Amino acid sequence: MKNNLHLTLVFLGEVEPGDVDPIIKALDNVEYKKFDISFNMLGKFSRRDGDIVWLGMDKENSDLARLNNLVCRELGKLGFRQEKFTPHITLGRRVVLKEDLASIQADGISTRVERISLMLSERVDNVLTYTEIYSKNLH
C-alpha cells in the first residue's frame, strides 16, 4: 500500500504508552534542514517465509546520516539504541522472487525529506499498517 511507504530513521520496537510523550519531546529537540535523497538499488533481507524486498541507496547520503545521528542522540538520552542504520523503503514482505534482484533495473527515485514522524506500527485486519502520531517539519 502506497500510504505505508516510509523510511525508518530509528526503529524503536515495542514502546510503552508512557514513553510516547518523552519521545515526542526528544524529537522536538531535533533541528535540521530539508534535503533531497535518491534511491537507486534493490536489495532484500532473506527470511524463511519469503524475503523482504527493499529500495535503497548505493552510497551514503550525508544529510540523512546526520539527521539519523541527531535523532539517535536525542533518543539515546531515553535509553533507545540503534545497532545499524540501513536506509531503505520496504517494497514487499514475504516475496518469492523468480529472478535474481541483480537482473531488475532500479532507476533512481528522488524525493525531498521535509519532516520526521513518529509512527505507530500495528496489524489492522491482518494488514501491517503505519499511523503517524507525531510529525515535525524540517526547516
**CATH homologous superfamily for 2-137?**
Cyclic phosphodiesterase (3.90.1140.10)
Average pLDDT over residues 25-44: 95
User: Does the active-site annotation cover 139?
Assistant: no
61-119: pLDDT as tens digits: 999 999 999 999 999 999 999 888 989 999 998 888 877 777 777 778 899 999 999 99
Task: State the catalytic residue, choosing from 4, 5, 6, 33.
Answer: 6
Residues 6+ apart with CB under 8 A from 26: 74, 75, 77, 78
pTM: 0.89
Q: Across residues 50-67, what is the average pLDDT? A: 93
In the chain, % of residues over pLDDT 70: 99
Does the annotation count 6 as an active-site position?
yes
Measured between alpha carbons, how far is 4 from 89 in angstroms, rounded to an integer?
10
List the chain domain ranges: 2-137
Give pLDDT tens digits for 121-135.
999 998 889 999 999
Q: What are phi and psi of 113, to 5 degrees?
A: -90, 115
Selecting among 9, 88, 116, 118, the annotated active-site residue is 88
Predicted local confidence at residue 128, as pLDDT: 87
